[in-house]
Structure 1
Amino acid sequence: MKKIRALVACLAVAGALIVTAPAVQAAGSCYQSGPQAGYGTTYTCGIWRSNHLWAMYGSGNFHGLDNITGVLNAGNSWFICQRKTVVKLEYGSIKNDWFAYTLGDNGYWGWVSATRFSAGGNWEPVPGLGYCPAGFGETDTYPGDRPRGGSRWNIPGPDGESSVRIN
């Protein structure tokens, strides 16, 4: 009987620990992280393959300026926010029109397609990554963009997308 009581007590303690344990992030989803590059709130997310950053702005207009300058390596990276764009990318069976803003590993600012994130579904925002405030990215002078003059947009895209469409 003592053994049964001891077992019940252990199970009760274990159950209490399980109930009070902090929630774990879903595999591959983003999580809020510390300040970066003057932004108070950033998000850390997993990128499944190295890619190039796109320099684009405006919700009504797409400016394909120098979309192959910035580079972001695979692994964990931090991001400012995400927004839906007029650019629709397809990489095999992965399709998305959401992009996230960050500073590339080589010092250029730009947008990373949601097709490169380790979590998320087709035509959906990246889970756990905050949304850009209204007006963010509406001009060519937002934080750090350095497009080179005379550059042309590469189709089907710098990272081998099977399809790039501008809505």
Structure 2
Amino acid sequence: MKRTLASLGAAAVLATGAVALAPAGASAAPSGCWGNAGTKTDPEGRTYTARYCHNYQGGNVYLYRRPIGYLNAGDNWFVCQTKVPDFPNPPVGDARNDWWLYTQGDTGSEHNAWGYFPANKVSGGNDYDPIPGLPAC
């Protein structure tokens, strides 16, 4: 299903014996999203330019306010984000947010695992603010 930056690097090492390096700007992860993760097309045929963001915790991917998949923790690609004031993210400690990042989960079959991931599990954001470096949907 979804290939993260880390899994692609591991695959490259296994396949070629070469050491895969993170893309330029990877050190910017803690302050938001960075780099170009390529072009992604969702199940409706919409095409996006994806960016890498670090989600420090895995979690459910939601569609129509219900979980449809799961995204593992790590450096993953996301395509955009949207604010949903009447559907806040599940709490993570003291972190609260109502922004959701559109991506494809690592697992899930409905909608090809495309859905929304909670912003409060992504590095670089503040409570009730968007994640820096990722465009609005």
Q: How many residues align?
A: 101
- Higher share of residues assigned helix: 2
Question: Residue 91 and residue 34 in structure 1: after superposition, are their counterparts in 2 closer, same or farther (change >3 A)?
Answer: closer
Question: Residue 48 and residue 26 in structure 1: after superposition, are their counterparts in 2 closer, same or farther (change >3 A)?
Answer: closer
Q: Deviations over 1:103-138 (max 9, x none)?
A: 111241110011110111101001111111xxxxxx
Residues in 2 aligned to 1:129 and 1:110: alpha-carbon distance in whole angstroms: 16
Q: Letter of the aligned partner of 2:30 in structure 1?
A: A
What secondary structure sits across from 1:33 in the alignment? coil
State how 1:1-167 maps to structure 2 within 5 Å: 25=28, 27-38=30-41, 39-56=47-64, 64=65, 67-85=66-84, 86-89=86-89, 90-106=91-107, 107-132=112-137
What secondary structure sits across from 2:106 in the alignment? coil
Is the 1:47–1:74 contact (alpha carbons within 8 Å) kept by the matching residues of 2?
yes
* Counterpart position of 1:149: none
What secondary structure sits across from 2:62 in the alignment? coil
Cα displacement (A) at 1:55: 0.6
For the pair shown, the structure with the greater C-alpha radius of gyration is 1
Residues in 1 aligned to 2:71 and 2:121: alpha-carbon distance in whole angstroms: 10
Percentage of matched positions with identical amino acids: 32
Question: Residue 108 and residue 97 in structure 1: after superposition, are their counterparts in 2 closer, same or farther (change >3 A)?
Answer: same
Is the 2:40–2:49 contact (alpha carbons within 8 Å) kept by the matching residues of 1?
no
Q: TM-score, with normalisation over the residues of structure 2?
A: 0.66
Is the 2:60–2:70 contact (alpha carbons within 8 Å) kept by the matching residues of 1?
yes
Question: Residue 40 and residue 124 in structure 1: after superposition, are their counterparts in 2 closer, same or farther (change >3 A)?
Answer: closer
Residues in 2 aligned to 1:120 and 1:34: alpha-carbon distance in whole angstroms: 20
Q: Name stretches of at least 5 consecutive residues in structure 2 with no aligned partner.
A: 1-24, 42-46
What secondary structure sits across from 1:87 in the alignment? coil
Q: Name stretches of at least 5 consecutive residues in structure 1 with no aligned partner.
A: 1-21, 57-63, 133-167
> Alpha carbon RMSD of aligned pairs, Å?
2.0
